[in-house]
Amino acid sequence: MNPQLKTILLTVLTLSCFVIALVELSGVSQTALFNKYHIGSSSTGMTTSEADNRIQQAAAMPKTTIQFIDSFYSFGSIKEGDVVTHAFRFKNTGTNPLLISKADVSCGCTVPSFSKEPIAPGAEGKIDVQYNSKGHPGHQHKNVIVHSNGQLEAISIGFEADVK
C-alpha cells in the first residue's frame, strides 16, 4: 500500500474518532445528554436536584442488602419499533430500609421506573424497564445500573432482544 494513502487513511480514522468523542463529550447526542445530565427519563419524574438529593439520602442511610430475583431478561425476537417492558423483581434481604436512589441506562432507548418509597426489610420491589426498539435493528444487549443504599451501591441488571 502506498505510504501516502496510509497516512491519509490514518488521518481520516483519527479525525473520525476525535469527532465521535467531541460529540459525546459535548452533549450533542441524545445519549450523551441523558448520561451527562440525567434527562430524558420521564418515568423517574425527578429533576436533577431531586435526583441528587435522593443520592445523598441513600448515602446517609444505613446499609442493607438487595437480592434481584431476576437480573437478566431476554425479550427474544421482537419487531423493530416494538416497545416492550419487563419488571425486574428484587427483595430487601437486609435489616434496614432499602432506598433506590437512581437507575442509569446504557442507551436513551431504555427507560427505568421504580418506587420512590423505601422498601421495608423483607419486602419486595420492582424496577420496570421499558425498551423502545425503534431504530435499533439486530441483536441488542442493554444494561441498567441500579444505585441504592445497599452493601453493593451499584448493581447491573440487563436484557437482550433480537430486533427484526
Phi, then psi, of 63 in degrees rounded to 5: -70, 150
Are 24 and 92 within one domain?
no
- Strand 124-132 and strand 110-114: the pairing is antiparallel
Are 67 and 112 within one domain?
yes
Q: Quick one: which of 158, 70, 154 has its CA closest to 106?
A: 158
**Is pLDDT of 69 > 70?**
yes
Are 103 and 60 within one domain?
yes
Listed in sequence order, the residues at least 6 apart from 37 whose beta carbon sits closer than 8 Å to its beta carbon are 27, 48
Are 33 and 50 within one domain?
no
Cβ atoms within 10 Å, residue 151: 12
Are 155 and 106 within one domain?
yes
pLDDT-derived band of residue 65, with 50, 70 and 90 as boundaries?
A: very high
Are 87 and 150 within one domain?
yes
Are 26 and 70 within one domain?
no
Task: Say which residue, 143 or 55, is predicted with more confidence.
Answer: 143
CA distances from 76 to 48, 84, 95, 107, 159 (A): 34, 11, 37, 19, 10
Rounded CA separation 87/124 (Å): 12
Q: What is the residue range of 23's domain?
A: 1-37
Q: What is the CATH number of the domain that holds 136?
A: 2.60.40.10
Are 65 and 126 within one domain?
yes
Are 46 and 32 within one domain?
no
pLDDT at 25: 56
pLDDT at 8: 87
Are 78 and 96 within one domain?
yes
Rounded CA separation 18/120 (Å): 48
Are 49 and 8 within one domain?
no
Phi, then psi, of 12 in degrees rounded to 5: -60, -45
Tell which phi-psi region holds residue 146, choosing left (phi > 0), alpha (psi between -120 and 50) or beta: beta
When divided into structural domains, the chain yields a total of 2
**In the predicted model, what is the mean pLDDT of residues 26-51?**
51
Q: Which residues pair with 100 in a beta bridge?
A: 148
**Is pLDDT of 51 > 80?**
no
pLDDT-derived band of residue 128, with 50, 70 and 90 as boundaries?
A: very high
Q: Show the cell assigned to 6.
A: 496510509
